[in-house]
Amino acid sequence: MIVSATIAILFSFSLLDIEGNKAKAATIGEQLKEPEIGWKRYDDSHEAIIKKGYSTANPGDYYNGSYSYTPANDKPVLFDFTGEKVGIIVRKWNTSNYYAEKVELVIDGEVKQTFSIHGPTQNQTLIAEVTGLENKRHKAIIRVAEGYTKGINLDAIDIDTNGTLIHPDTEGIVESLKLNKETLELTIGSSETLVATIEPENAINKNVIWTSSDSEIASVDDNGNVIGKKAGKVTITATTTDGSNLTATAEVTVKEPETGEIGTRAILRLTMTNKDIHEYLSLPEIDQFMNWLDGREVRQGKPYYKFKLNVTTGNIISRTEYIMYDKIVSFTVDNYK
């Protein structure tokens, strides 16, 4: 009996811990003082939210200490966001003297939810929530429904953790990201460059970050150059850096070479003083690098070696990486069949 009681107590604490860590999803109308797991919160004061003619309430038990409101039905809230979900946090109030009976959440021109802010007074209330959206840029409006009067208020906006809030007047945000290949086959010691295509063309920031799910199988550098290292499968991911947080992936399979003699392929791996690791293919160039490095010991030449990189993205027609002699800590050369 003592053991059973102990288990029951521990189980109760476990349930409390799950709810305390916000594993239980909130429902519309509940108070939600912090964003749930998988969400992040923007205060109503954020610069990306347009609220013309609004006032800021007196300090109180609101998110970040205040909320915004308007008594006018012709003053909507406007904001853009990226991601798959959005939630609206307001102050519910038990009076109909200030707020409209019907308020709409419009996303990309479609009314997704209608709600009323009337009810028992409650701060930081989750009043609307839309999920399952396409992961792209969305235009959102919080407005009083046609035929209704009075105004609305806003305390905060929740979106998913991979999204971002964007000012509606901001242009040049990335809307789509694609790779030239969705699958790629390499042999150990071979390489190929993945090319990321970004739309629209007027996107201000077209930079992407490249990552490998297992760099011991295949690595990828800042230019999308993928190098096969050992047999296996890996996912290469490109991620936008402009705040849209879009991703595109390619599944890479690395195989053992079918034929070939030892030494026909090699990877040069340099470790620099700042702990960065640079990798290069091409046995002839590796030989040239070794000759240059050896020559530095007997004669003073240029303090750097130039590696020609296979970069053709954007307006770039060629790129050269300069490796400084005194910045190299160590290096390895792996030869493959």
Q: Is 294 helix (H, G, I), strand (E, B) or coil?
A: helix
Residue owning tokens 């340099």: 270
Other C-beta atoms lying within 10 Å of the C-beta of residue 233? 12
Q: Is residue 10 part of a domain?
A: no
Residue 211 has what pLDDT?
94
Residue owning tokens 């150990």: 188
Residue 141 has what pLDDT?
95
For residues 101-116, average pLDDT: 95
Which range among 24-33, 40-49, 296-305 shows the weakest confidence by mean pLDDT? 296-305
More confident residue, 4 or 52: 52
Using pLDDT thresholds of 50, 70 and 90, give the confidence band for residue 157.
very high
> Residue 83 is part of a domain; what is its CATH number?
2.60.120.260
Structure confidence by residue, pLDDT tens digits, 183-209: 999 888 788 889 999 888 777 678 899
**Whole-angstrom distance, CA of residue 135 vs CA of residue 46:** 22
Q: Is residue 137 part of a domain?
A: yes
**Are residues 302 and 234 part of one domain?**
no
**Are residues 288 and 212 part of one domain?**
no
How would you class 337 by CB atoms within 10 Å of its CB: exposed for 0-12, middle for 13-18, buried for 19 or more?
middle
Structure confidence by residue, pLDDT tens digits, 304-331: 566 665 555 555 555 566 677 677 766 6
Which tokens hold the place of 220? Answer: 């990828």
Asked if pLDDT for residue 217 goes beyond 70, the answer is yes
Q: Is residue 91 part of a domain?
A: yes
Q: Is 3 helix (H, G, I), strand (E, B) or coil?
A: helix
**Whole-angstrom distance, CA of residue 247 vs CA of residue 203:** 16
**Are residues 245 and 315 part of one domain?**
no
110: containing domain: 26-166
In the chain, how many domains are there?
A: 3
